[in-house]
């Protein structure tokens, strides 16, 4: 009897210990995308989704063009179809048209798409047409892992309208093999009298970028350059400009608005802090690769990820691309916070404060919502929950072109990157620490999320691109932007803009 | 036939005309009198506020219009000259005439957006083949990042894409010309140059005017080339009216204001193209 009991205990114990592995194998055999982890238990895991039956139902999704976000949308749609029997129709749309493609039918009272992908800063314009995320999903295991800041970015006044599938922030990426190279450090010291290290200010960034501009410093027979940045005049360059501005213009001692003075709603965009940042940016046109002032995000990813430049800053994608197995610079790059500045503008006293300042920019990123008028809301939320379940999310994180970046607390464990992606432990640690520090910072800037946000950001893109092209001086360009912002505020209504902006200011001032 | 029957037969055509031409124009006019935007959807009535803003507070629209005028006139002149030369060449009895006729039409048959992406790759200043070749001669032009050169790049792409259209119209014109004037000129011993100046060109004048006007109408809508190649940059140096209207309407979602710009632009184009047609007719058909 004792033997039987012992054997039974052993069998049950081994079943309990090894069951996750068997569980994982079952699904990863069918879906090779998750081969690194297998299925990860959760409310929206493969196992749970396979219990749903959506046969005869059709889900329509409008997402971005392939690959960024478009590829994972299509891939998870295919998986969702196999698991639930649903039919999923995916439409791919260029980034610049995502807003209008959803907005036109929204305003006409139609819902040609059940799920619409866009950017998190669309939330104010879109929220009245989107269904709030139901409680069931808010309490799911997947959602409980989302960081506080990304819960905030996806929500408006405590109600979540956008389902978190991506987390975005801008940070510095640099060539670790160059910055940490003793020979390069010696050469840099000899020629400039300064230490070669990870830049902590934009001035240092510029000095190093200029020094490493236009010569073959990695010995591959090709010329390398200082920095790759998103400078092309379109709907993304404004974010790069804000990344350069936060150090000079986000003063932790002057709460009450980074973009506007919340009290008066007077734009801050042409104050000396922003002008200093734009002056730096105009200077940067001298150390980008040929054609660099026409680089969009794809060019920036390709340039830094392909080993063409020493520095880059923007979304995670360039870093992940550089760390992929097929990259020529895998394990040769580092991540660090955005550079800061040795002075910061105080908009209350109208003077510079000569002290070090650094501010993370939690930039807008991919966001997705379910149309209020959709007839298959349950299926739509199930799809989104499945999209970002543990196994899919970890697999997506490893593929740079997917554009899926960390937004869950569990994403900041360096072991994920070391074990499943083959990253050097030091790099994995610096990457996760950089992201974690941004989450903890008390001097963050969040994206502008006010009615008519596109009018504001488009004005910034136009003004700054005129300065980069030499059509206007930085001050003239930003004065033009400020004038345009004032006109937009007046058209939209001061109260409407202020009420919306106040929500973002609360987040920046750490009151939410 | 009963008088009313005539209207019965006219009705389907009239219905289609109203549906696809008159209604959209009336709707655009109505839209232009509203403040429809992302935060205020719907056809409210704000009078001529959008037009006041356009005429008094939007220099960017007028800058883009003058830029468009420069780009469209330049590209159409180049297309006309090159198109005429090519049509004239294959009009004559040359070897592989049929092959060349098809070859010259290929650019027009390709998708403009796809071709512009390919041109953008060609002109990419650090990765493109054009500068790769030119760097052997110590040259590295800033095709897309120098404000003046970027306009030139847009012109190159437009001329490449649409010269075949001009070629096609002019070749059709040449093939339809009567033979007698040419025989008379040959009997008189006119040189090829004089034959071209005094016979071919005057005979082609009506077709040339038509071709130029058609191309000017098309060229005044330059949008996809600018969108893909430069996004209107550097700065605003390649921004055209249609691209600017696109930004205001579908990027910033200022539908009412974009409609007022579209309608103003339509009126300006009707007036200016009418004047151009009159002037060309007077110049080329004076005899």
* Among A176, A511, A109, residue whose Cα is nearest residue A312: A176
What average pLDDT is seen over chain A?
91
Q: Give how far A97 is from chain B: nearest CA, Å.
A: 7
In a domain, A424, yes or no: no
Residue A17 has pLDDT above 60, yes or no: no
Q: Looking at the structure, tell me whether residues A351 and A395 fall in a common domain.
A: no
Query: Dmax over Cα atoms in chain A, in whole Å?
Result: 91
Confidence of residue B287 (pLDDT cuts 50, 70, 90): low
Q: Looking at the structure, tell me whether residues A378 and A403 fall in a common domain.
A: yes
Confirm or reject contact between A250 and chain B (CB < 8 A).
no
Say how many CB pairs under 8 Å bridge A and B: 101
Give the C-alpha separation, B21 to B67, whole Å. Answer: 28
User: Do residues B161 and B225 touch, judged by C-beta distance below 8 A?
Assistant: yes
Q: Looking at the structure, tell me whether residues A350 and A330 fall in a common domain.
A: yes
Q: Give how far B254 is from chain A: nearest CA, Å.
A: 8
Q: Give how far A248 is from chain B: nearest CA, Å.
A: 24
Q: Looking at the structure, tell me whether residues A375 and A312 fall in a common domain.
A: no
Please give the structure tokens belonging to residue A446: 């969040």
Per-residue three-class SS string for A310-378:
EEEEECCHHHHHHCCCCCCCCCCEEEECCCEECCEEECCCCEEECCCECCCECCCCEEEEEECCCCCHH
Confidence of residue A454 (pLDDT cuts 50, 70, 90): confident
Please give the structure tokens belonging to residue A233: 């005049």
Contact B126 A103 (CB under 8 A): no
In a domain, A89, yes or no: yes
Burial class (CB in 10 A: 0-12, 13-18, 19+), A74: middle
Q: Looking at the structure, tell me whether residues A342 and A380 fall in a common domain.
A: no
Residue B5 has pLDDT above 90, yes or no: no
Confirm or reject contact between A418 and chain B (CB < 8 A).
no
**According to the model, what pLDDT value does residue A149 have?**
84
Give the C-alpha separation, A30 to A49, whole Å. Answer: 14
**According to the model, what pLDDT value does residue A234 have?**
75
User: Do residues A123 and A95 touch, judged by C-beta distance below 8 A?
Assistant: no
In a domain, A433, yes or no: no
Torsion of CA A287, A292, A296, A301, to 10 degrees: -60
Neighbour tally for A119: CB within 10 Å: 26
Neighbour tally for A43: CB within 10 Å: 18
Contact A465 B147 (CB under 8 A): no
Give the C-alpha separation, B177 to A295, whole Å. Answer: 51
Q: Which of A216, A229, A291 to mutate to probe the B interface, most B CBs <10 Å?
A: A291
Distances (CA, A) of B174 to B97, B122, B206, B207, B287: 14, 35, 11, 9, 20
Contact A233 B232 (CB under 8 A): yes
In a domain, A8, yes or no: no
Please give the structure tokens belonging to residue B96: 């592989």
Q: Span B92-106, mean pLDDT?
A: 85
Contact B231 A492 (CB under 8 A): no
User: Do residues B75 and B220 touch, judged by C-beta distance below 8 A?
Assistant: no
Give the C-alpha separation, B99 to B90, whole Å. Answer: 10
Q: Looking at the structure, tell me whether residues A195 and A332 fall in a common domain.
A: yes
Q: Give how far A266 is from chain B: nearest CA, Å.
A: 20
Q: Which of A401-405, B119-123, B156-160 comes out lowest in average pLDDT?
A: A401-405
Q: Looking at the structure, tell me whether residues A61 and A79 fall in a common domain.
A: yes
* Among A246, A320, A244, residue whose Cα is nearest residue A281: A244
Q: Which of B142, B237, B252 is opposite residue A454, by nearest beta carbon?
A: B252
Per cent of chain B over pLDDT 90 is: 76
Closest-CA residue of B relative to A472 is: B235
Q: State phi, psi for A256 to the nearest 5 degrees.
A: 105, 20
Task: Note down the domain range covering A127.
Answer: 13-167+364-412
Give the C-alpha separation, A120 to A122, whole Å. Answer: 5
Q: Which chain B residues in 225-244 lie under 8 Å from chain A, judged by CB atoms?
A: 230-237
Give the C-alpha separation, A166 to A388, whole Å. Answer: 8
| DSSP assignment of chain B | --HHHHHHHHHHHHHHHIIIIIHHHHHHHHHHTS---SSS-S----TTHHHHHHHHH-HHHHHHHHHHHHHHHHHHHHHHHHHHHHHHHHHS--TTHHHHHHHTTHHHHS-HHHHHHHHHHHH-TTT-HHHHHHGGGT----TTTSHHHHHHHHHHHHHHHHHHHHHHHHHHHHHTS-SHHHHHHHHTT--HHHHIIIIIHHHHHHHHHHHHHHHHHHHTT--HHHHHHTTT-STTTT--HHHHHHIIIIIS--HHHHHHHHHHHHHHHHHHHHHHHHHHHHHHS--
**According to the model, what pLDDT value does residue A12 have?**
46
Please give the structure tokens belonging to residue A270: 């042409």
Q: State phi, psi for A347 to the nearest 5 degrees.
A: -75, -10
Contact B38 A469 (CB under 8 A): no
**According to the model, what pLDDT value does residue A21 have?**
43
Q: Span A490-498, mean pLDDT?
A: 94
User: Do residues B285 and B208 touch, judged by C-beta distance below 8 A?
Assistant: no
Give the C-alpha separation, A436 to A440, whole Å. Answer: 6
Residues of A in contact with B232 (CB under 8 A): 233
Domain B61-252+270-284 has CATH 3.20.20.100: no
Contact A452 B131 (CB under 8 A): no
Q: Which of B38, B124, B140 is opposite residue A451, by nearest beta carbon?
A: B38
Q: Looking at the structure, tell me whether residues A137 and A186 fall in a common domain.
A: no
**According to the model, what pLDDT value does residue A455 have?**
92
In a domain, A437, yes or no: no
Residue A20 has pLDDT above 50, yes or no: no
Neighbour tally for A331: CB within 10 Å: 16
Q: Looking at the structure, tell me whether residues A208 and A103 fall in a common domain.
A: no
In a domain, A483, yes or no: yes
CA angle at residue A217 from A315 to A185, to 5 degrees?
90
Where are chain B's structural domains? 61-252+270-284
Give the C-alpha separation, A217 to A199, whole Å. Answer: 18
**According to the model, what pLDDT value does residue A502 have?**
94
B142-172 pLDDT, tens per residue?
Answer: 999 999 999 999 999 999 999 999 999 999 9
Q: Which residue has the higher pLDDT, A354 or B93?
A: A354
Contact B250 A107 (CB under 8 A): no
In a domain, A154, yes or no: yes
User: Do residues B49 and B254 touch, judged by C-beta distance below 8 A?
Assistant: no
Q: Which of A24-33, A112-121, A467-476, B142-151 comes out lowest in average pLDDT?
A: A24-33
Contact B147 A125 (CB under 8 A): no
Confirm or reject contact between A471 and chain B (CB < 8 A).
yes
Contact A465 B234 (CB under 8 A): yes
Strand ranges for A371-499 from DSSP E: none
Q: Looking at the structure, tell me whether residues A101 and A220 fall in a common domain.
A: no
Start-to-end C-alpha separation, chain A = 62
Per cent of chain A over pLDDT 90 is: 74
Residue A4 has pLDDT above 50, yes or no: yes
pTM, to two decimals:
0.86
Confirm or reject contact between B140 and chain A (CB < 8 A).
yes
Q: Give how far A459 is from chain B: nearest CA, Å.
A: 10
In a domain, A430, yes or no: no
Q: Which of B8-17, B180-189, B263-272 comes out lowest in average pLDDT?
A: B8-17
Confirm or reject contact between A97 and chain B (CB < 8 A).
yes
Domain boundary among A412, A430, A451: A412
**According to the model, what pLDDT value does residue A317 have?**
83
Contact A291 B142 (CB under 8 A): yes
Peptide bond into B157 cis (omega under 30): no
Work out how many domains chain A is built from and give that number: 2
**According to the model, what pLDDT value does residue A72 have?**
96
Report how far Cα B191 is from the mean position of its chain's Cα atoms: 35
B231-266 pLDDT, tens per residue?
Answer: 898 999 999 999 999 999 988 899 999 999 999 999
User: Do residues B79 and B163 touch, judged by C-beta distance below 8 A?
Assistant: yes
Domain harbouring A303, CATH code: 3.40.190.10
Q: Looking at the structure, tell me whether residues A329 and A373 fall in a common domain.
A: no
Collapse the DSSP code of A59 into the 3-class scheme (helix H, G, I; strand E, B; otherwise coil) and give the result. Answer: strand
Q: Looking at the structure, tell me whether residues A354 and A210 fall in a common domain.
A: yes
Confidence of residue B1 (pLDDT cuts 50, 70, 90): low
């Amino acid at each position: 009897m004792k033997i039987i009991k012992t054997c039974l205990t052993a069998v049950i114990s081994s079943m309990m210990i090894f069951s996750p592995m068997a569980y994982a194998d079952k699904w990863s055999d069918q879906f090779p995308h998750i081969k690194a982890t297998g299925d990860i238990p959760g409310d929206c895991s493969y196992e749970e989704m396979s219990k749903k039956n959506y046969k005869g139902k059709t889900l329509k999704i409008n997402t971005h063009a392939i690959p960024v976000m478009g590829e994972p949308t299509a891939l998870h749609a295919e998986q969702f179809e196999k698991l639930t029997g649903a039919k999923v129709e995916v439409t791919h749309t260029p980034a610049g048209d995502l807003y209008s493609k959803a907005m036109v039918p929204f305003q006409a009272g139609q819902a040609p798409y059940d799920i619409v992908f866009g950017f998190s800063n669309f939330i104010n314009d879109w929220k009245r047409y989107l269904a709030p995320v139901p409680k069931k999903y808010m309490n799911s295991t997947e959602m409980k892992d989302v960081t506080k800041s990304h819960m905030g970015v996806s929500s408006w006044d405590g109600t979540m309208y956008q389902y978190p599938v991506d987390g975005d922030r801008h940070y510095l990426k640099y060539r670790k093999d160059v910055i940490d190279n003793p020979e390069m450090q010696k050469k840099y010291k000899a020629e400039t009298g300064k230490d070669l290290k990870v830049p902590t200010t934009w001035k240092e960034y510029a000095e190093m970028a200029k020094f490493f501009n236009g010569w073959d410093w990695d010995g591959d027979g090709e010329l390398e350059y200082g920095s790759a940045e998103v400078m092309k005049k379109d709907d993304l360059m404004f974010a790069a400009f804000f990344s350069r501005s936060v150090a000079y213009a986000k003063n932790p001692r002057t709460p009450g608005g980074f973009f506007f003075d919340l009290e008066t709603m007077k734009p801050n965009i042409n104050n000396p802090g922003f002008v200093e940042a734009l002056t730096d940016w105009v200077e940067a046109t001298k150390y980008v690769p040929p054609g660099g002032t026409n680089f969009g995000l794809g060019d920036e990813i390709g340039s830094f990820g392909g080993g063409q430049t020493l520095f880059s800053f923007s979304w995670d994608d360039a870093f992940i691309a550089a760390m992929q197995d097929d990259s020529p610079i895998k394990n040769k790059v580092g991540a660090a916070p955005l550079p800061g500045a040795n002075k910061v503008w105080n908009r209350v006293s109208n003077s510079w404060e000569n002290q070090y300042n650094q501010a993370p920019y939690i930039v807008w990123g991919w966001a997705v919502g379910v149309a209020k008028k959709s007839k298959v809301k349950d299926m739509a939320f199930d799809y989104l929950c499945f999209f970002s379940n543990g196994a899919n999310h970890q697999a997506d994180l490893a593929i740079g072109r997917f554009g899926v970046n960390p937004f869950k607390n569990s994403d900041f464990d360096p072991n994920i990157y070391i074990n499943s992606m083959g990253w050097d432990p030091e790099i994995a640690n610096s990457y996760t620490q950089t992201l974690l520090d941004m989450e903890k910072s008390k001097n963050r800037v969040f994206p502008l999320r006010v009615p008519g946000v596109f009018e504001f950001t488009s004005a910034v893109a136009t003004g700054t691109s005129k300065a980069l092209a030499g059509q206007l001086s930085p001050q003239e360009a930003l004065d033009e932007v400020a004038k345009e912002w004032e006109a937009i505020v007046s058209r939209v209504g001061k109260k409407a803009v202020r009420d919306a902006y106040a929500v973002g200011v609360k987040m920046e001032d750490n009151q939410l | 036939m009963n008088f009313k029957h005539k209207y019965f037969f006219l009705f389907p055509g009239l219905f289609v005309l109203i549906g696809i031409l008159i209604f959209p124009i009336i709707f655009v006019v109505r839209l232009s009198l509203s403040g429809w935007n992302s935060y205020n959807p719907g056809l409210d009535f704000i009078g001529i506020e959008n037009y006041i803003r356009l005429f008094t507070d939007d220099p960017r629209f007028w800058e883009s219009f003058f830029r468009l005028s420069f780009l469209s006139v330049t590209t159409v002149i180049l297309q006309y000259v090159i198109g005429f030369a090519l049509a004239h060449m294959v009009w004559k009895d040359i070897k592989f005439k049929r092959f060349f006729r098809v070859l010259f039409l290929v650019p027009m048959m390709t998708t403009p957006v796809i071709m512009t992406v390919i041109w953008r790759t060609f002109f990419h200043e650090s990765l493109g083949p054009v500068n790769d070749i030119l760097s052997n001669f110590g040259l590295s032009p800033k095709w897309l990042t120098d404000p003046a050169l970027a306009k030139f790049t847009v012109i190159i792409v437009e001329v490449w894409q649409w010269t075949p259209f001009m070629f096609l119209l002019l070749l059709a014109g040449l093939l339809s010309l009567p033979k007698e004037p040419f025989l008379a000129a040959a009997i008189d011993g006119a040189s090829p140059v004089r034959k071209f100046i005094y016979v071919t060109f005057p005979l082609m004048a009506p077709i040339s005017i038509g071709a130029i006007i058609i191309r000017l109408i098309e060229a005044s809508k330059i949008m996809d080339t600018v969108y893909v190649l430069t996004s209107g940059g550097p700065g605003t140096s390649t921004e055209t009216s249609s691209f600017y209207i696109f930004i205001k309407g579908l990027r910033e979602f200022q539908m009412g204001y974009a409609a007022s710009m579209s309608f103003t632009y339509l009126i300006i184009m009707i007036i200016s193209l009418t004047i151009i047609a009159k002037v060309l007719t007077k110049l080329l058909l004076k005899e």
